[in-house]
Structure 1
């Protein structure tokens, strides 16, 4: 009898708890009705090629939705080949305000749409691909932006300049490679740039052990190619490289620390170092960075940061930033020329979308100020799409 009383009391308490729900227990479903539009400026035509696949093609941006209450809004970028989005594919998701797509992404969409870069086929070399942004708040209905049409056009390939290599790139990892070290987080690449030729602008350092090794596969220690691998194959190797004579007989860099244009020619069997070299089409070959916010430069012309032209109007490269002291700096169009400086307002007034880790220092020269976390970032200045990004 006592047990039955206890059970009854428990059931009564349960019913009483459920009956005491207040307004605080009601689940609020946010309504996502404000207008959703892209805020970036689109080009009339986007030129693509396999050679520039790693470049940023477009950075889609928008303003945050205002739903009246603090809540998480999820944005999804969709693409469609048909234009009616019955074939909608999600190509990017973010809770922020931008999603970037590469030239390689555009290449894939152009191929899907039936185009190619061969002038001798019946396939078109230019197609339209359609994009829209979807925002979703809580369990509410999705909201969509107006459709944006993007025209993608192939750079015509005659076949004469097509680079043919056994691999797409060779990877470099080691203490002698400035922005890599012995880690697979940021390995450096020498990409296939000619028949049997791999090349790239690589920063080397003679500090610490200064050793490194080439690899044929990313994140695969077993794919390494050390100094004897090339020496025994009859390669003529730049004098600034030696056998490290360590356990793995790695390469040892013995030159001055800095940025070099590295070329591995597997046909003529040479490994050479030269001055940084532009590999794209830009107004300048190199943009220089100087200032206290740039760890490797400071306010000195002895070791300025160099962003090399490596795409259509694109300057890029790895940079060490520090968020200490003034943390200010400026870009320059000419080496050792203070009068060639380009400060924050120069880009802001020209309509550039500037990475939020950079702001106006509001000093005498209105320099850039780095306000992100101290460390290394892959920096891209895109003069065509007018963006400055730190990744």
Structure 2
């Protein structure tokens, strides 16, 4: 197994000028002669699993800097996939304290940029380096802001190789006043949170379906289903508002676009700090159904089983040219088919064939985010 190292650099802000219009005093920020450096001890290697993406990997701690000015010194923790820092990523800026948490997911994203992967059949290494640096600065005007930097520090990361062929996707969880009425345990209970899944390891684009069976639903998004630590809410000024923008500090409870309940398709991006909700009712359409391709036959949702079901007469049809599909809101903007005829559903997938004519119970299960399935059972 190949080894590459991870470098962490700390950066400090150096100069700041502040003038009094009355006394015309000028304060000039000066580098701290004691310098700046990381204070914590790093592990020999950080083992990274996509399933633990939201977990804390390391808390970077550095000493406080005194720039000899009457203004608050701020810090910025930066990261890079290589030592040059030409394409660095800001983990967090405007830090008032001398520490910052870094998650497993943030390390995974850097490892991916560095070319590491978990496939044992490729030549790419599963062990390598990511790089960090912390910047201390005084002043807000770029022309007068002064910076000071620490010496680089390196850490090693190791991705767990995937030998099963299955990847557990990172998840976040939705909690709110809908949980009890929607069949998700108790209201505002993290352990009963409804999962949303990302599209892949170290990704931040989460999606899933949630039944908000209350009037004026309110909810938040949690990084884990263990507590409210690090929760995301809406950036609006009142509870229950929908702005489509996320916020972590001083946030409000999020709500639906029109304040109504129902079955919703959630999309959340914790990097872009955005979220969207689409209210959906599902129907079955196709030339295997009694109404053909002209109109849907509605499915019914059961909150106890979390399944959409329908019993109807179907005629034998051969996919992918013929058959049936699931679609939302009597339109084609959101539709699900089965590419590969493996029982799993994909957005915009192929038509689903019907093996022989008869009376069928059709079931669609959207309760497992990004693992949507269906069954056709002849009665």
Query: What band does the TM-score fall into relative to the shorter chain?
Result: 0.3 to 0.5
What's the TM-score once normalised by structure 2's chain length? 0.45
The structure whose residues are more often helix, as a share, is 1
TM-score, reference length from structure 1: 0.43
Bigger relative contact order, structure 1 or 2 (CA pairs below 8 A, ≥6 apart): 2
